[in-house]
Structure 1
Amino acid sequence: MLHFASATGLVKMILIILLIYFGIKIIARLFAPFLIKYVAKKAEQRFGGQFQGRPQQNTPKKEGEVTIDKVPNTKTSSKNVGDYVDFEEID
């Protein structure tokens, strides 16, 4: 026996889909702030744990005092890299 879709069944299905869509949309608006706070709190804990081992440098400095936090990487290169080869253009 062959069954065909009726117009009322189609309308009912469309209404159910719209009801589910708008229901999820409303629930997402209600719970989104809590979800964002939870994710931000977890990220703060994760990134905060990386800096716990380092000492805090909040010592007040005198005016005009200079401190260097990082020494620049000085590369020493030797001038004896290779031989200079003179060349001529060939016509």
Structure 2
Amino acid sequence: MGLLRTILIIALIYYGIKILSRIFAPLLLKFAAKKAEERFGDQFGQYQKKQQQEPQKKEGEITIDKVPQTKTSNKNVGEYVDYEEID
């Protein structure tokens, strides 16, 4: 009797989740799409504000925003071995 009761409970939970997901899935998707649209709009608005704040540059003018860091290599890494190919 316990096995039949367990199977019945599992089936009811499965079908309950299935029915609830059909009701709430469209609402969840609408909410996610709305949030994504808001984020995109905010990023686009920030980009437009940034473009408006920067003065127009003359054609051919070059600006460097970031100076690359110089990478130093260790010269004492290993020993150079000269080799010769043998045919």
Separation of aligned partners in 1, 2:44 and 2:13: 45
Which residue in the other structure is 1:12 paired with? 5
Separation of aligned partners in 2, 1:51 and 1:17: 48
Pick from 34, 37, 50: which aligns with 2:43? 50
SS at match of 1:52: helix
Q: Structure 2-normalised TM-score?
A: 0.53
Separation of aligned partners in 2, 1:33 and 1:14: 29
Which residue in the other structure is 1:28 paired with? 21
Separation of aligned partners in 2, 1:38 and 1:25: 20
Cα displacement (A) at 1:32:
0.5
Separation of aligned partners in 2, 1:51 and 1:18: 48
Cα displacement (A) at 1:38:
0.1
Separation of aligned partners in 2, 1:23 and 1:51: 41
Separation of aligned partners in 1, 2:44 and 2:7: 54
Stretches of structure 1 that go unaligned for 5 or more consecutive residues are 1-7, 56-70, 72-89
| Structure whose CA Rg is larger | 1
Separation of aligned partners in 2, 1:18 and 1:40: 32
Amino acid in the other structure paired with 1:22: Y
Separation of aligned partners in 1, 2:43 and 2:4: 56
Q: Percent identity?
A: 61
